[in-house]
Structure 1
């Protein structure tokens, strides 16, 4: 996120005049998408997370925290 900020904004963050958390929150709300799925148990949630990390969706494994085996398989 820092490369997107102006020198003035970075200086304001360093001086405590600008809250970085507020800027980050605004960035997330404007540019990112979050989804959730209510599940019956923690075990079911862990299973779904593992499947998604392996790439069990049309877009392949996630960019953040993919299963290392899924990344290796995709590179070959």
Structure 2
């Protein structure tokens, strides 16, 4: 994995990334948190590709949360103020 990352800037197979072996378990309804909307689009594409290839089930992921699109913490804690 490190060699592919150094050489090409990407990993050729997501299954080579440590910690992303959730596909081995029967997990559903998990989410992904990203910083920017463009990253959310990339992740959505990757998730759909994994579903299409049969690597993960359709219900493995439930949401993608874009942190830049969230209001600041004060508004989340006290929305009435």
With the shorter chain as reference, the TM-score category is: under 0.3
Greater RCO between the two (CA within 8 Å, min separation 6)? 2
Q: Normalising to structure 1: TM-score of the pair?
A: 0.24
Whose helix fraction is larger, Structure 1's or Structure 2's? Answer: 1
Structure with the greater alpha carbon radius of gyration: 1
Q: Normalising to structure 2: TM-score of the pair?
A: 0.23
Whose strand fraction is larger, Structure 1's or Structure 2's? Answer: 2
